[in-house]
Amino acid sequence: MGIRWLYSATKVKFGKELESIGNGAFWGCTSLERITLPLKDGIITADDIFRGCKKLTHVDLVEGAVLRDTIDALLLEEWKNDMKDKLGAINHILPTARAGGFYDVGEKALEVRRWIRSVLRNIIRYKAQHLSILNEAATTLQHALHQDIVFKNVLPFLELPSYTFEGED
């Protein structure tokens, strides 16, 4: 069964240092409504982590603020909208995902795992595309303007926040 002191907890907040959550960690925590996790692939290690957590409907990310800043800095509106949709998707999926029971692990852990992978995969892809466009624009500007002007006055306004997400090289 789950962590005893959590049976009546409605919210659980972990820090960015958390590496993983194992088998049955929240099994039977029927009051759990919201959890805050770091954005790390592999953090959800088993399908039964949220077994019986019928009220679990919201997942927040430890990196939520920096992720929103990164999304806001992306060049294309299409990317921003896609990422905002992806961030909020889990809170629309979890309310209808099966919580499971004694013989059924449910779907909540699987859905959280899929969502984390999707958010990570997409933010890394959009950051890489953003940097590619930025480098191309910088090269074009260097031909038109003095290099010092480009590096000191133009590029700083187009760069993304320096945060590196797990899995990003």
φ, ψ of residue 20 in degrees (nearest 5):
-160, 160
| Cα(54)–Cα(11) distance, integer angstroms | 13
Confidence at residue 82, expressed as pLDDT on a 0 to 100 scale:
94
| Cα(94)–Cα(25) distance, integer angstroms | 18
Confidence at residue 19, expressed as pLDDT on a 0 to 100 scale:
93
Q: Residue 2 — pLDDT band, cuts 50, 70, 90?
A: very low
Confidence at residue 76, expressed as pLDDT on a 0 to 100 scale:
86
Percent of the chain scoring above 90 in pLDDT? 49
Query: For residue 68, which amino acid is it?
Result: R
Residue ranges of the domains in the chain?
4-157
Confidence at residue 161, expressed as pLDDT on a 0 to 100 scale:
62
Of 46-60, 69-83, 123-137, highest mean pLDDT: 46-60
pLDDT tens figures, 56-107: 999 999 988 888 888 888 878 999 899 999 999 999 999 999 999 888 899 9
Residue 167 in this model has a pLDDT that exceeds 80: no
